Amino acid sequence: MRTPDLLRLSSILGLIFMRLTGLSWRVRYVRSMPGRAGRDRNRPSFFVLWHGRQLPFIHTYRNKGVAVLISQNRDGQYATNVLHSMGFQTVRGSSSKGGLKAIRDMSALLRKGIDCAITPDGPRGPAESVKSGLAHISRLGNRPLVPMGSSGWPAIRFSSWDSFILPLPFARVPIVEGRPIPPMKREDDPQHWTERVETELNRVTACADLLASPFAMFFSSILRILGAFLHPLASIALLLRPVRERKERKGYVQWTRCRPVWLHGSSLGELNGLLPYAEYLKRNGIPVWITCFTPSGRSFIERMGLEGSYIPLDTHCYAERFIRRIKPRAFILAETEIWPNTILKALESGIPCMMINARLSAKSLRGYRFLGSLPASMLSCFTGILTRSDEDRNRFLSMGIDKRIISTSGDSKMLADHGDPPPQWRTAMNTDKPVLVAGSTRYGEEEAILKATESAGYFPVIVPRHLGRIDEVWDLMVRMGFSPVKWSELTASHSKTLDFDSVLVDVHGVLAQMYGTGDAAFVGGTLVPIGGHNVLEPVMRGVPLIVGPYHGSYTGIVDKLIVSGIAHIASSYEEIADVLNKLFNDPWKRENVKIVFDRMKGNVLDDFKALIRRSGIIETDTGR
């Protein structure tokens, strides 16, 4: 009995298997434009996808004449036979054999207007690592790359080097089409271009895995049902809000210009951290749309003359309406603003998502773990996550997020410079003593600050966190024997006509500049277990810093400042007084503080620029 020639039979067997299995799949094609890339848009395309994710692509692009690069070994011949039976063309060659000829042949096909496809990490890996041949084909063929991601559930995942995925019959099979990437030019940096391709391929592949995950889709359905259930209640609650807010919370916004980058910060602090990035994007000709959650944030957006609105309430219909109206080219969130329905809708719409100033407390981490793998799967679809500290980065990693997209950058609030204070501010204090500015102080901290300044011979300037405590702090200062003056009164009068030995700031919006009047600074919320406030504002003005033992989300930054000799930790008024005495006897020059700060600031901006470069935001959208 003759042994069947499997090589010859592979064509018919492969065709039968692919047609029967593929026709049973529940395919979901995710794209941000009508029609599929390639012939459907009447524009030749160069498809790229990771090795091991080919089967869904073979099924959905059958009989379209796409030319696929296949290796010259025996396994490649099996694949060639199957592809020919499915209506594909093939070009034979790989990085290990026949590579130069394959590059020339594929480039020629692309120039002729024929769609081509390649797995840039094949034929033997390393997995999910782009090889150099892709850049040469792209440049010579002069066609944009279309990254493709696919997944399936239920599916068999083989233990091969590429973790090959075989979706089972009747599996859910999502296919995600990424943003086209312009072909590499001679003047382009090959490493930067390759990083962008890998980033986009990883993003669309992670999105496909998310959309295939039964657990993620279950929670997505629950969120959608919950949103629909709460929709009437939200509509009733919005009746009590102003008309503009009511419309914007429902996603009704007006935007007539080209596609903006959507930046979101919940409140005033997060918005301040977004402003430098917004300015950077606008300088590069990219419009921005800024959203917030709080009324104070909305007033800030309006006061700064920025285009923006409230973020829509986190329901599927409101998020869909908002995204459909502004058509963002990217979505950048500040800190840990995770709105599940909104993020899922953005991902499903093919919008690259990023997170900057990312922070994650131990408490928040425990809360996210109740949602299982959904937060990790969702955030793994992001183009990048820039954390404020290594501690935050480690917490994100412990959630199971892809480590390739997470890096420690710092806090962009250090880029938002409010400028030096007017010279007359220090003159108005009318003192020869060194000045300590204590900002954002909380209950229980002012007494320690006042005792320390009295002991060390400093002039205290107290800026309470909440203006509702002004009378309380005033009474404390008087009881302790001080003769304070309120800042509003001091700036309205001639200081020489007043008798005072301390200042109590009773107005909003001056703290960031007020630090510049000091010879030292104390940041509140750190002596008591609040978690601390912005430690970057005094350093920005070149002022050495004193903090208590509680730093909260600023722990990583405080540690860096301590190593640089800029920050000092004190747990009691005696320790604060000791630090003040040391600073008086051996003062830091402001220029030295600013040198360290400028180095940190440069790193933060460089990391953001690298993230934007990998996402392709700055470049012209090809085919969009």
Cβ-contact 607, 584 below 8 angstroms: no
DSSP tag of 159: S
- Residue recorded with tokens 């869904």: 56
Predicted local distance difference test score (pLDDT) of residue 133: 85
- Sign, CA dihedral 196-200-203-205, equals negative
Please provide residue 45's backbone torsions phi and psi, each rounded to the nearest 5 degrees: -135, 155
Which pLDDT tens digit goes with each residue over 57-88? 999 998 888 999 888 777 777 788 888 888 89
- Sign, CA dihedral 216-217-220-221, equals negative
Strands of 406-408's sheet in order across: 308-310, 288-292, 261-264, 330-334, 353-358, 384-387, 406-408
72: how many CB neighbours lie within 10 A of its CB? Answer: 18
Strands of 484-486's sheet in order across: 484-486, 502-504, 459-464, 435-441, 520-523, 545-547, 567-569
Distance from C-alpha of 512 to C-alpha of 237, rounded to nearest angstrom: 36
First to last CA, the chain: 59
Q: Which H helix or E strand runs over 47? A: strand 46-48
Furthest C-alpha separation in the chain: 116
Distance from C-alpha of 201 to C-alpha of 405, rounded to nearest angstrom: 12
Please provide residue 372's backbone torsions phi and psi, each rounded to the nearest 5 degrees: 65, -135
Cβ-contact 356, 384 below 8 angstroms: no
Predicted local distance difference test score (pLDDT) of residue 623: 38
Q: Check whether the bond before 147 is cis (ω within 30° of 0).
A: no
- The low-confidence residues of the chain, meaning pLDDT below 50, are 1-4, 620-624
Which pLDDT tens digit goes with each residue over 377-419? 889 999 999 998 888 888 899 888 888 999 988 777 777 777 7
Nearest to 90 by CA among 111, 73, 62, 71: 71
Nearest to 355 by CA among 320, 380, 391, 326: 380
Task: Provide the token pair at 557.
Answer: 């930054």
Predicted local distance difference test score (pLDDT) of residue 363: 79
Predicted local distance difference test score (pLDDT) of residue 590: 58
Geometric angle at alpha carbon 13, from 7 and 17, rounded to 5°: 140
321: how many CB neighbours lie within 10 A of its CB? Answer: 16
- Residue recorded with tokens 């997020």: 401
Query: What Å distances lie between residue 306 and 152, 255, 256, 278, 291, CA to CA?
Result: 43, 13, 15, 9, 10
Please provide residue 264's backbone torsions phi and psi, each rounded to the nearest 5 degrees: -130, 130
Distance from C-alpha of 276 to C-alpha of 417, rounded to nearest angstrom: 9
Q: Residue 300 contacts by C-beta under 8 Å, 6 or more apart in sequence?
A: 268, 271, 292
Q: Where in the chain is the domain with CATH 3.40.50.11720?
A: 214-415
Tell the burial category of 424 from Cβ atoms under 10 Å away from its Cβ (0-12, 13-18, 19+). exposed
- Residue 439 pairs in a beta bridge with 463, 523
- Residue 26 pairs in a beta bridge with 172
Distance from C-alpha of 72 to C-alpha of 93, rounded to nearest angstrom: 5
Q: Residue 585 contacts by C-beta under 8 Å, 6 or more apart in sequence?
A: none
Q: What is the CATH number of domain 214-415?
A: 3.40.50.11720
Cβ-contact 109, 116 below 8 angstroms: yes
585: how many CB neighbours lie within 10 A of its CB? Answer: 7
Predicted local distance difference test score (pLDDT) of residue 1: 39
Q: Where in the chain is the domain with CATH 3.40.50.2000?
A: 423-588
Q: What is the CATH number of domain 423-588?
A: 3.40.50.2000
Q: Residue 261 contacts by C-beta under 8 Å, 6 or more apart in sequence?
A: 281, 286, 287, 288, 289, 328, 329, 330, 331, 332, 617
At 288 the three-state DSSP class reads strand
Side-chain half-sphere CA neighbours of 95 within 13 A = 16
Query: What Å distances lie between residue 383 and 5, 89, 229, CA to CA?
Result: 47, 33, 32
